Amino acid sequence: MPGKVPGRANVFKTMTALTSRTRRSSIALAAAAIFAITAAAPAVAGGGSTVVKAGHAAGKSVVVSSRGRTVYVLTPETTKHLLCSGSCLSVWLPVKTGKSTRLKAGSGVKGTLGRFSRGGGSYQVTLRGLPLYTYIGDSGSGTATGIGLTTNGGTWHIVRPGG
C-alpha cells in the first residue's frame, strides 16, 4: 500500500543491518590506516638485527639501512651538535633503533655502531660517531638523490662502507 509506514520490526532490522555494515567498514578503514602508518614509519631495528649493511646506489658502494635505503650523514653534524631538527626530520629520516637493541652492521661495513637519544624515547643510530639518516627524496633502494645537498648548515654525504 502506498504511504504505508514500515513496522517497527522492519525498521529495527534495517538499522541493525546498516550499523553492522558501518561497523565492518570502520574496522576495515582502521586496519588500512594502521597498515599505512606502519608501512610509512621509519625502520626501528629489533633485537640483534642488522641496522646497516653494504649496498649500491648511484653506481657507488654505500651503506644502506635494513630496508635498503641509502644512508647519509650531515657534515659538520655530531651527536653533540645536531643540525638536523624540526622540519629537517620530515625530509631526512633518522635511522632509528631501540634503547637496548644489540646493534649489528652487515658484512663489509667498517666502524663502530652506536646510538644516541633524540628525546621522547627515540634513539638514532650512529656509525663512526656520526648520526645516520635516509632521504625521503630517494625513490627506493639503489637511489641516492641527496648527495651534495646543502641544508641546515651543512652538506649531505653518502656513507661509504669502508670508511
Inter-CA distances, 103 with 27, 80, 114, Å: 37, 20, 7
How far, in Å, CA of 73 to CA of 138, rounded? 15
pLDDT at 29: 40
pLDDT at 49: 66
pLDDT at 107: 87
pLDDT at 111: 95
pLDDT at 31: 39
Q: Is 113 exposed, middle or buried (0-12, 13-18, 19+ CB in 10 A)?
A: buried
User: What are the grid coordinates assigned to 52, written together?
Assistant: 646497516
User: What are the grid coordinates assigned to 36, written together?
Assistant: 599505512
pLDDT at 38: 34
pLDDT at 48: 57
pLDDT at 117: 95
Q: Which residues of the chain have pLDDT under 70?
A: 1-49
